[in-house]
Amino acid sequence: MGSGDHSALPANWEVRHSRTHNKDYYFNRATKESRWDQPTAQPKLGAWHILAKHQGSRRPSSWREETITRSKDDARAQIEGFLAELAQCESIDEKRRKFGDIAQQYSDCSSAKRRGDLGPFDYGAMQKPFEDAVVALQVNEISKPVETDSGIHIILRTQ
């Protein structure tokens, strides 16, 4: 493996050497996966999201509120209300505009200033339930509520 092109590794992957087998292997720092065969680059994912944090969130504060005191049930109800608003939109353009407006005004993530846009990101860069939801969506499709350690999200896949 010493002659392989390791410069083309996807994000979070590095080459390590196994003393037991006396050969190189690949290790993903984010997922802790190891493998003998070289990983190939995957296309980046892209999403906008609306985050409703609650008192049980990993970091129960945001740009909107220094201390978030809403319950998980209240956060879920807020997200469900946003989904109901989005369901009224008749076109994807209208839905994207409305999604961005809601994110900008109500999302507890700092991406609110970008209308919820997280920009392109690599596989393994987000919390697993969030990434799994993005991967399951088609481009321009909106998720059902997604729970992570950060709170409850609605996700709009953009790439």
Annotated catalytic residue 49:
yes
**What is the three-class DSSP state of 80?**
helix
Out of 55, 62, 150, 159, which one is annotated catalytic? 150
Out of 78, 127, 138, 159, which one is annotated catalytic? 127
Q: Are 18 and 24 in contact (CB under 8 A)?
A: yes
**Token digits for 152?**
């409850």
In 23-150 the beta strands, taken as DSSP E runs, fall at 23-28, 34-35, 45-52, 117-121, 146-148
Out of 49, 57, 107, 143, which one is annotated catalytic? 49
Of 67, 106, 102, 77, nearest to 88 (Cα)?
102
Annotated catalytic residue 109:
yes
Out of 54, 57, 78, 153, which one is annotated catalytic? 153
> Degrees (nearest 5) of the Cα angle 95, 54, 123?
60
Annotated catalytic residue 88:
no
Out of 78, 107, 109, 111, which one is annotated catalytic? 109
Annotated catalytic residue 127:
yes
Annotated catalytic residue 153:
yes
Kindly list the catalytic residues.
49, 109, 127, 150, 153
